[in-house]
Chain A
């Protein structure tokens, strides 16, 4: 009996047992689709976040209050929490700017307040900084102008709006020159920023920018900073710049730390590259989490396949006994079952991959919408190999192993099997 002929026999057997074939394929499809979708989504997320951070300019250095804590590595975490350490001052930022490796420095404070224009009110995140911020972040004021150093010095009550918040408050009206109220203080709108999208889960277009001094005094009632961003003159001097900033701040904060033990400082300094690496590892954990969901799905799918194959062994053992009684050789039986398993796993595999890719595609759309991000649609080859590999092994082993055992029985034993 030729292979081609075995194919026909296997095909007839598959068609004869439609429900069983369908359920087996379903198990394979679920397993593979889940793995492919989950891992692809995870890879897309990682890609996205790291890419965004790097696109901000890789020469940036972050300075935050609080000592380096090896347990808390996420800059997001630090930024979101109210940092209680108040030692970072505007004068520190000015001193950093005088370092030879540094091109620009921007100090930052941040807070959340209600913004009111006429009868529209909205809760927004406001950021107090200097004109240097938009140089460092490479964003442009497309309508009106940015505030000036002079306005920072004089604690001027002026505001530059993010693209979206300007639209929310003013609609089609021209916001320039209009007065908005933030925490009982009137601010004059002098500029609107270009559309920027989202980054590390925050919508940058909903921020309101005011001079750092104004924010400290009138909105927050503090005289320290939440973070400083310094831009190095070139990539090559970043490491030196980081070290010089540390030395400078220790001196300014009277910290005796000759060994350079980062946990003794009251600040931490991190380059953009390091930040991206850390975020990337955080996202790696996220991917791992998605992958374990996928692994569970794969196991469930695999057990489904095993179950169906093993349950059908009784009937199939009888079938094998009969086929042997009328002249089938062991080989014929094995070929038939091998081909059945191959057909099932490859149909299931292809459908599973397609569904997984579709799932990943729509997942990236949905997540992107939910988090206001351009979630990159990504196909994880590793996932396809893994999913298909497991499904094929399970399908083949549980498709063939019982058949092999049954084919070794005498025809009568097989026919009598219960």
Chain B
């Protein structure tokens, strides 16, 4: 489903920054992959390329057999809308816009009927435990709450792949476990999950861990003893 071959991303500048330095891997439908690595190792950059939000400088990235260069703007928009859900590391919520409307945003471009949009957005917010904050504005929410709105927005359209960049970064361990539980459930239902995290504990809730360092993959392993988030919740 996802195929990366020798991907490089170099940001131009006085001193060009090599964010990714030849990354190759394959991800199949239904996988749950954690990408770990130190800060600045290129995790977010890789996620953006995988989500068709940015282009690699060189190398080939294919999603369902198609690379970004083969698709026109409308087709890319459609894939981003229907197939992908994205949780940004810095949330990127629309200011002065209610939680409910923020979550609805992907639905606006999906052709789904208005009444159903409302139902789907409320459902997604219920999953992240924010049913009591529907009409708050982003600046009235805590960091963790904003992050959960971003997650609700990513899952609202039932995308086949969810890219989550540090979705538990601002949460206490209990809320974090809840999010991981949601992601594991989605994965059980067949959604592919790509998760960036710097917590070893969280990474072990995935099925596979790719480790980055200085823009290269230094390790790529199946998780031997996978943790289940709901076990943590019971405790």
Give A residues with C-beta under 8 Å from B.
Answer: 1, 5, 9, 12, 16-17, 315, 318-319, 321-332, 410-413, 415
* Bound CA span A312–B73, Å: 25
Among B55, B86, B110, B111, contact of A410 (Cβ-Cβ < 8 Å): B55
CB distance from A12 to the nearest CB of B (A): 7
A residues in contact with B109, CB < 8 Å: 1, 323, 326-329, 332
17 contacts across the A-B interface (CB closer than 8 A): A16-B96, A315-B95, A318-B92, A324-B80, A325-B51, A325-B88, A326-B81, A327-B80, A327-B106, A328-B108, A328-B109, A329-B74, A329-B78, A329-B109, A330-B73, A410-B55, A412-B54
For the complex with contacts A315-B95, A412-B53, 6 further pairs of A-B residues with Cβ separation under 8 Å are A1-B109, A16-B96, A325-B88, A328-B77, A328-B108, A330-B74
**Within 8 Å CB of A412, what residues of B?**
48, 53-54
B86 near A16: Cβ-Cβ < 8 Å = no
Interface centre among A315, A321, A326, A328 (most CB of B within 10 A): A326
Residues of A within 8 A of B86 (CB): 325-326
Whether A322 and B94, one on each chain, are in contact in the complex, defined by CB atoms closer than 8 angstroms, is yes
Q: Are B92 and A415 in contact (CB under 8 A)?
A: yes
B74 touches A327 (CB 8 A): no
Are A16 and B54 in contact, with the CB atoms below 8 A?
A: no
Distance in angstroms between the alpha carbons of A9 and B78 in the assembled complex: 18
Q: List residues of B whose CB falls within 8 A of some A CB.
A: 48, 51, 53-55, 73-74, 77-78, 80-82, 86, 88, 92, 94-97, 101, 105-106, 108-111, 153, 157
Report Cα–Cα, A415/B53, bound state, in Å: 10
Say how far A332's CB is from chain B's closest CB, in angstroms.
6
A327 with B110, Cβ < 8 A, contacts A12-B101, A410-B53, A410-B55 known? yes
Determine the distance from Cα of A373 to Cα of B92 in the docked complex, in whole angstroms.
64
Q: CB-CB < 8 A to B92: which residues of A?
A: 318, 321-322, 325, 415
Contact A325 B73, beta carbon cutoff 8 Å: no
CB distance from A110 to the nearest CB of B (A): 70
A17 neighbours in B (Cβ, 8 Å)? 96
Shortest Cβ distance from B137 into A: residue: A16
Which residue of chain A has the shortest Cβ distance to B93 in the bound complex? A322
**Which chain A residues border B95 with CB–CB below 8 Å?**
315
**CA–CA, A17 and B96, complex, Å:** 8
With A322-B94, A412-B48, A412-B54 as known contacts, state yes or no: A327 contacts B111, CB within 8 Å.
Answer: no
**Which B residues touch A415, using CB under 8 A?**
88, 92
In the assembled complex, the Cα of A12 lies from the Cα of B74 at a distance in Å of: 23
Q: Which residues of chain B come closer than 8 Å to A329, judged between CB atoms?
A: 73-74, 77-78, 109
Q: How far is the CA of A75 from the CA of B28 in the complex (A)?
A: 95
Within the assembled complex, what's the spacing in Å between the Cα atoms of A415 and B89?
Answer: 12
